[in-house]
Amino acid sequence: MAQALFSPFKIGKLTLAHRIVMAPLTRMRAAQPGNIPQSINVDYYRQRASKGGLIITEGSQISPMAQGMPATPGIHSSAQIEGWKAVVDAVHEKEGIIFLQLWHVGRISHSSMLSGNLPIAPSSIVAPGKAFTATFERMPFETPRALETEEIPAIVEEYALAAKNAKQAGFDGVEIHAANGYLLEQFLHSSSNQRTDQYGGSIENRCRIVLDIAAVVCEVFGADRVGIRLSPYGIANGSSEEDPMTLYDYLIKQLAALNLAYLHLIEPRASGAGQEEVNHQNVPLSSELFRAIWPNTLIAAGNYKPDTASAAVEAKQVDAVAFGRLFIANPDLPKRVEKGAPLNAYNRATFYGGGTEGYTDYPTLEQVK
């Protein structure tokens, strides 16, 4: 079953054994204080590692100001690097491949998590909806502070430093999170970016910070170990863009010129899947729209099931498919798909925060028998 998913493919010079990728999944279970990956995180990733399979970690804040939810892991302190090292080693022991997702949330945060500072953003425009506070409460988002022009190169530099830290932890590569309404998408989209300097206005200007970051991260890791995640037509976290086709056509072509190893697209039908069950109708299929202008590996995510993922690979619409919610509930997802075995159902109540329940206690096939 789902035969097309079980053939090798390449990410840069790395050869992957199958096309079932673990999507980046925030789980808010890092050790406190310090947002440090800990032993239950090691167990969780070890369980989900497979020989030649790609894991993309949960979003990991590149700096203290980049954090948007409590207990998400960072990649800016030496303790965090050590914590991640144990995760990487566990995945490598199973001959898996692991990329770290570099994350800055921008306005999708709360001052209680930022030493009392207001969240930062391209413009002083509040996001709709509710933030998590440092104590897991939900409060309306605060109006962010617009970044000064002079502050932006320092943020680019934070990405470079975070990539260096990821390299030191032993990661095989990194994925730049430029999707889902977080800082980089806030710069990309006109609804959240009303700047009048070289980082706002024209499409070229709105894409500038993303391309600057991609360039410095490629310098650290080599372009063949860098991917990027985008969500064209996405609406997560109050995101919206009036002309996505023109914007993403330009951006993806520029990223292609940098020769990034892969492009990871979130299908808009699944926009906001982290918050609620969604299947948006009458929305474009991003992997179909942008396949033609992306020369390297294309990964897509969003409401894929084993049969639809296999069909998408077979049709050469994508090279690999990332699974989010199904990977939460099925630590041995690739094996189950290969065997056509039944899948465990996920429990949304335990997605965010807590301990091992709903995290490392989903059974493998062997444990069910």
Q: Are 296 and 256 in contact (CB under 8 A)?
A: yes
Does residue number 29 form part of the binding site for ligand FMN (CB under 6 A)?
A: no
Instruction: Give the type of residue at 237.
Output: N
Interface map 118-157 toward ligand FMN (x if CB under 6 A): ----------------------------------------
Stretch that binds ligand FMN, among 13-21, 279-287, 306-314, 320-328 (CB under 6 A): 320-328
Query: Does 233 qualify as catalytic in the annotation?
Result: no
Instruction: Return the exposure string of 15-25: e unless at least 16 CB atoms fall within 10 Å of the residue's CB, then b.
Output: ebbbbbbbbbb
User: Which residues are 280's β-sheet partners?
Assistant: none
Q: Can you spell out the DSSP letters for 206-224? A: HHHHHHHHHHHHHHHH-GG
Query: In angstroms, rounded to a whole number, what is the distance separating the alpha carbons of residues 45 and 103?
Result: 19
Does residue number 70 form part of the binding site for ligand FMN (CB under 6 A)?
A: no
Does residue number 179 form part of the binding site for ligand FMN (CB under 6 A)?
A: yes
Stretch that binds ligand FMN, among 19-27, 156-164, 279-287, 307-315 (CB under 6 A): 19-27
Question: What count of residues does the chain have?
Answer: 369
Does residue number 259 form part of the binding site for ligand FMN (CB under 6 A)?
A: no
Stretch that binds ligand FMN, among 125-133, 175-183, 285-293, 354-362 (CB under 6 A): 175-183
Does residue number 344 form part of the binding site for ligand FMN (CB under 6 A)?
A: no
Place of tokens 């413009």: 123
- Out of 44, 45, 159, 182, which one is annotated catalytic? 182
Q: In 3-state terms, what secondary structure has residue 366? A: helix
Q: What's the min distance (Å) between Cβ of 197 and ligand FMN?
A: 28
Q: How many chain residues touch ligand FMN (CB under 6 A)?
A: 24
> Torsion over CA of 143, 148, 149 and 154, rounded to 10 degrees?
-100
Burial class (CB within 10 angstroms; exposed 0-12, middle 13-18, buried 19+) of 40: middle
> Torsion over CA of 260, 264, 268 and 274, rounded to 10 degrees?
-130
Does residue number 331 form part of the binding site for ligand FMN (CB under 6 A)?
A: no
CB atoms within 10 A of CB 111: 16
Stretch that binds ligand FMN, among 20-28, 43-51, 112-120, 141-149 (CB under 6 A): 20-28
Does residue number 20 form part of the binding site for ligand FMN (CB under 6 A)?
A: no
Task: Give the residue with the Cβ less far from ligand FMN, 45 or 304.
Answer: 304
Q: In 3-state terms, what secondary structure has residue 11? A: strand
Q: What's the min distance (Å) between Cβ of 369 and ligand FMN?
A: 26
Q: Are 295 and 331 in contact (CB under 8 A)?
A: no
Does residue number 177 form part of the binding site for ligand FMN (CB under 6 A)?
A: yes
Task: Give the residue with the Cβ less far from ligand FMN, 187 or 200.
Answer: 187
Q: In 3-state terms, what secondary structure has residue 35? A: coil
Q: What's the min distance (Å) between Cβ of 198 and ligand FMN?
A: 27
Task: Give the residue with the Cβ less far from ligand FMN, 200 or 294.
Answer: 294
Stretch that binds ligand FMN, among 13-21, 75-83, 124-132, 296-304 (CB under 6 A): 296-304
Q: What's the min distance (Å) between Cβ of 204 and ligand FMN?
A: 25
Does residue number 26 form part of the binding site for ligand FMN (CB under 6 A)?
A: yes
Burial class (CB within 10 angstroms; exposed 0-12, middle 13-18, buried 19+) of 258: middle
Report the DSSP pairing between strands 14-16 and 9-11: antiparallel
Does residue number 59 form part of the binding site for ligand FMN (CB under 6 A)?
A: yes
Does residue number 302 form part of the binding site for ligand FMN (CB under 6 A)?
A: yes
Task: Give the residue with the Cβ less far from ligand FMN, 6 or 346.
Answer: 346
Q: Which of 70, 144, 274, 358 binds ligand FMN (CB under 6 A)?
A: 274
- Close Cβ partners of 236 (under 8 Å, ≥ 6 residues apart): 179, 180, 181, 271, 272, 274, 275
State the residues that interact with ligand FMN by CB under 6 A: 23-26, 58-59, 101, 177, 179-180, 229, 266, 270, 273-274, 301-304, 323-326, 351
Active site residues: 182
